[in-house]
Each structure stands twice: as C-alpha cells, then as structure tokens.
Amino acid sequence: MDSIRIGLCGVAVWLVATHAGAQQAAIPGRLVGWGANSWGQAQPPANLGEVRAVSAGFEHSLALRLDGSIVAWGRNDLNQAVVPSWIGPCVAISAGLRHNLAIQADGSVVAWGHDQYGATIVPPGLGACVAISAGEHHSVALRADGTVVAWGAAAYTQVPGGLAGVVEIAAGPTHTYARRADGSLVGWGSDSWQALSGMPGTIGPALGCAVDSHASYALRLDGSLVGWGLGSAGQGGLPQGTWRALDAGLQWCAGLRADYSLEAFGLGQFGQTLTPAGRYSMFSAGGMHGLAIQPSDCDQDGVFDALQLAAGAADCNGNGVLDVCDVSSTTPDCDFDGVPDSCQVFGGANDCNLNGVPDQCDLWNGWSDANGDGVIDACTNDCDADGMSDAIEIAQGFALDCNGNHRPDACDLAAGSSFDLDLDGVPDECFPDCDGDGLDDRVELLQGLASDCDFNQVLDHCDVAAGAADCDGNSMPDACQMAGGVGDCDYNLRLDACDILAGAADLDLDGVLDACQSIGAIACHGDAGCPCGNDGARGSGCGNSFQPHGADIVARGVPSISADTVELEARRLPPFGSVLFFQGQALLAPAPFGDGLRCAGGFVRRLDGLTVAAGRATCPVPGTAPISMLGAVQAGFTHHYQAWYRNAAGFCTPAAFNLTSVVSIQWQP
C-alpha cells in the first residue's frame, strides 16, 4: 500500500527521481505478483501486456500501461479497483488503503476510491506535480517546485513550514517522510513507536526513505539500510549488503539488490517474503502482497535489453528487439552474422530477386549460378525475352513459378520441361499426384483414367490406399458403392457381397443375406408420404432420429399353427427405448401416425412390449408363447405385423413415436 512505500532518486532503472510507488516511468516489462491473494490482488489480469509502473495497495493493485492507461484489480468494496473513465493518460500512480492517486500527462493530480477524511479531495490550485503518495487516510503530492502539499486526515497532513527542495515523498498510515535534495529527511504526523523521533543522527545523506505502520527506513549512500521504530529491525535484523532500493509493506520489506534481484524480509505469513526469482526494474510492496516489473533480457547477459538499446546495441529494423535476439524462423539470418537478412538488404546487400534474402545466401541455398559470376542466374535470365529478368517477374507477381524452380511456368511449358495435359497453363506437377504416377490427378479424372466417386478431389484408389474401406478390392471405396445402390441390406456399412464372403448366410445364393430376407410380404413403405418429409427407404418405415432410412420389420421361421417358429424382428430403431409389436387383421392405406405411417389395422391385437437393445428387438422372447398363440391366428388367414417405438422428442411431430414397415404373413395349419 502506498502508505508504506520507498523510492530512490538517481537509480538508473527509474527515469524520475521520486517515490517508488509513484514512479513516472520504469523500464517496461511483464508484471509479476506474489504474497496474499485473497482478493486476487497478487494475480495480474490476463492480457495486461507490458507495464511501466506498478503500485500495490493494501488489498488492491494498480498498473500503468505503456499508453498511459491505468489498470486496477483486487478488492473493490469502495470502487478502489475501478478506474474512472474520465481519467486521461497518466505518468504516475499510487495506491493507498482504499483510495488511489494518479498524475495525468499535464501534471494534474486525480484521486478516486473512498476515504471519509477527504483523502480523495484534491486541493484546488494544486498545480503540476512530479510525485504522489497515498497514505491510509491522507494523500501527499510533490510539486514541480520542490514543495509538498498534504490533505486528508488533519493529524497527518501538517507539513512543516518552509519545507522545500524535496525530491522524494513517502506517506505511511499515520506519518510521512520527505527527502530533500541534500539527502536530509524530514518527517511529520504521528510519532507512535518513535517512527519519527527515533531517527538516528548518524544516517548521513540518504538515497531514499520508506515508512510502514510502525517504523521508518532510510537507504544510505553506501547502499546499507537503517531503520527505527517498532519492528524496524525486521525478523533477525536488517539484511546486510548493498541495496539499490527498498519498499516497505505491512511489517515486511522488499528491495532490489545490486544485481536487480528481489529480496524481502520481515513478517511472511502470506508468502510475501518469498520473492520470485529474476531481475526487475521496479517493484512495490503492498499490505501483504508484492508486484514487480520484469523487463526483457533476451540474450540473458544480465543487462536489460532497453538499457542495451539505449547504450547503442544494434536494432537494425527498429522493432525494439536486439538484433541478436531478433534472428529466428520469422526473422532469418542466413549468414549467421547476428544481423537479420532484411536489415542487410535494406543496408545495401544485393537482393536481385527481391526475396528479402541476400543473394549470397540464395546461392548457398541452391539458387543456380552456372557461370560462377556470383550472380543468381534467374536475375540475368529472361526466358520469355520481354526485357525483365525471370526473378523480377516472379518476385513482382508478373509470372508464376508454381514448382519453385525460379523460372516462369510459361517458360517451363514452352521448353517442354513441364507438361500441361489439361491445358490450363499450369505445369501438371504443381497439382496433386496422389498415386505418384507423374500425372496430375485432375488430368487423370478429365481423361477418364481414374474416378472420384465421392467428389472429394482425391482419386478413389488413393482414398483406398489412405484407408477407405474397399472390402471387395475393386479400388473403389465401399461407401461410394453403397451410395450408388450396391447392396448393404443390414446397413452395417459393409457390402452384402463382402458379408457373404466373410461367412454370412446366403442359403439361396441370391447375393442377399438370409438375415435380410423375410417370409411374407413387406408393405407400408416409408419412402413417401411421411409426416414431416422424413421419408425413409423402401422396405423400411419413415426416417427416425437415429436412422434416416427408417426402421423395418422382418419375419423368419415357419408360419404354421402346429409348428410355429415365426420370429419378428424390428431393426434400425433408436439405440434405446421401448417397442410394441402388434398384429392387424387388415392392411390399410398408409396414414400418418406420430412420426411414421400406420398400415396394420382392422381388429388390432397387442403382441408384446419390449425394450430396445442396440437398435433391435425380437418377438416373441425365447421361452414365451409363439406368435400364433399371442395373436390367436387361424389357418388360412393373412395377418399384418408392425412395431411401434419411441422416437426422440422434437424430431418430427410432438408425438415422439414412430412405426416400422409392415410384414404380412399367411398362416398355415
């Protein structure tokens, strides 16, 4: 929280010498968070992008994007994590307990959030400011002239008279420190725990100052730390060694070491002292969480890329990335000199074919130079004698080179080195040749040398070679044959002939599976007149929610009253549900009924209600009465059998049921 913050003037990684929580600019980078996260305050928003400043409040966080916009997240009970739309581009931010401050591009200070003591009411006539610091119930601003203004809770805003020459401010919950240009420190506000009066007289000129709720800190010229007030020694004492900067959280501190790594000490019950590894340009310690900016160091040499670029490191294309890091598959460096090819070409390297690659690299990569003069042949050749080199024609789109031989296609065809059997002006080798016979697949189709039964632009025998089923080995996918009417009576996506070859019964040798043949006559075809245009296949009922061909019914066995072995089977039903077999004395004209057509009528007798299994059901169930008994049939009469079954709701009509076709059986004694 910005009430416990420190910043250092003169530190190279920050461009403005002010309090760290209100820095105007740091080397940009990605944002990293750690510590308490109960409100999401330590988790930067997704797609935040690079930022140039951060400020960790008590339980919320702020970040300043490169375009000057502010992003806030974390606890938002008093709108502290909602940035008002009227705030323009900013150069500095500071998060307090429940309120925030920002400096806009013109130097004006804005505030939002909530504080009952007036910490969000910016004084009129404040003028242009260069630093801000949000305390717990008060706010502090540093004017461009080095004077300080404070507002909010009266007990903490009594700036000493005559205070001037200030270069840094740090507001704590109940007290504030200012650092003058000469390194001297001046404090005001509450002196609880001797956070003011306990300042040692041996500090000397300070590089920075920080305050928390119970203590104060200073950074000496030699990089060592000194603290005073309650808990200022941290847990186990202040760490020794050299520091670049320090920031105080709620009885914990984080700082940058000489190598720009983060280190923390003090209370750590929420993991706030477990700082992330890496090197950082700016950081902020909040109530019990921390945030830090990690700039790019693409070559991992220990120096931020931005500092290398500022010192003159090469960035030939001006994209903000070191040339040594810019070289990649998308930014090639064909001669491995650490300079992108595009920069060499821009700088004058020969690129006669205008492909963005130096000619020398093209020669290394296989472009021809028959006479060994160091010039790509394509840059001097002019195969069509139009006064423009082949390479330029191709590069500028005046000629095609589909086979990549650096010679216009028209010249390849004129010279006879390529064929164009389909006369489309494009060498045949530029189009697919799936069977590797040297003929463009399109030519094979046009000349009738191959087929493409499914119109997928792939030759049928290539489909088969790629795994398409061809059970009869005729190089045509089975799916095409079935679509063309070749038998698959049981709809198992396998040709009947192949099923028979594999052992399926065909006792009458008619090429139709016995399992598909039925005693009796099939009627009530669903291939026309279905209720919702859901016409099925001839021999089946209307299409259902599972099978567009519709469900059918077949009968097998001996239709004899004295030796009844008749078995009715309903097939291609929805996989699960119920089915009812029924018998009619009359065969009626097809009439819409539910999602299907009903034809079995007259005196109707229910035979059995069953559960569908794998899209099928058989009546009678083994061990139960035979059909002749269930239907009380008489010899010499023809009865008509149909099955009613459940269909998906909303498929066709609201009825949610359908019917099979009909099988008519004449019964014998």
DSSP 101-122: EEEETTS-EEEEE--TTSTT-P
Give per-residue pLDDT as tens, 320-334.
777 777 666 566 766
What per-residue confidence (pLDDT) applies to 16? 27
Structure tokens at 493: 């996506």
Q: Using CA atoms, how far apart are residues 199 and 216, in angstroms rounded to an integer?
A: 8
Contact 283, 293 (CB under 8 A): yes
Residue that is written with structure tokens 């002010």 in the block: 18
Structure tokens at 442: 């399109």
Give per-residue pLDDT as tens, 303-356.
888 888 788 877 766 677 777 776 665 667 666 666 776 666 666 666 666 776
In 3D, which of 259, 219, 221 has the Cα closest to residue 239? 219
What per-residue confidence (pLDDT) applies to 8? 32
Residues 6+ apart with CB under 8 A from 473: none
In 3D, which of 115, 90, 116, 113 has the Cα closest to residue 103? 90
| HEC secondary structure over 35-102 | ECCCCCCCCCCCCCCCEEEEEECCCEEEEEECCCCEEEEECCCCCCCCCCCCCCCEEEEEECCCEEEE
Backbone angles phi, psi at 537, to 5 degrees: -100, 155
Contact 141, 152 (CB under 8 A): no
Pairing relationship of beta strands 243-248 and 638-646 according to DSSP bridges? unpaired
What per-residue confidence (pLDDT) applies to 19? 34
What per-residue confidence (pLDDT) applies to 262? 94
Structure tokens at 608: 């059995």
Contact 663, 521 (CB under 8 A): yes
The pTM of this model reads: 0.54
* Three-class secondary structure of residue 651 per DSSP: coil
In 3D, which of 265, 241, 243 has the Cα closest to residue 252? 265
Structure tokens at 568: 């009715």
Q: Using CA atoms, how far apart are residues 429 and 444, in angstroms rounded to an integer?
A: 13
167: left (phi over 0), alpha (psi -120 to 50) or beta: alpha
Helices (H), 515-643: 627-630
Q: How many residues does the chain have?
A: 669
Residue that is written with structure tokens 């019990």 in the block: 288
In 3D, which of 547, 554, 559 has the Cα closest to residue 596? 547
Q: In what helix (H) or strand (E) does residue 190 lie, and over which residues does it extend?
A: none
Q: Using CA atoms, how far apart are residues 629 and 608, in angstroms rounded to an integer?
A: 12
Query: CB under 8 Å, gap of 24 or more: what pairs does 396-400 form?
Result: 396/354, 400/426
**Cα dist from 68 to 456, 497, 618, whole Å:** 54, 75, 76
Please give the single-letter amino acid code of residue 230. L
Q: Using CA atoms, how far apart are residues 98 and 58, in angstroms rounded to an integer?
A: 7
Helices (H), 185-318: 305-310
Q: In what helix (H) or strand (E) does residue 8 lie, and over which residues does it extend?
A: strand 6-8
Sign of the Cα torsion 266, 271, 276, 277 reads positive
**Is residue 133 exposed (0-12), middle (13-18) or buried (19+ Cβ within 10 Å)?**
buried
Residues in a beta bridge with 483: none
Q: Which residues of the chain have pLDDT under 50?
A: 1-24, 235
Contact 50, 78 (CB under 8 A): no
**Cα Rg for the chain, rounded, in angstroms?**
43
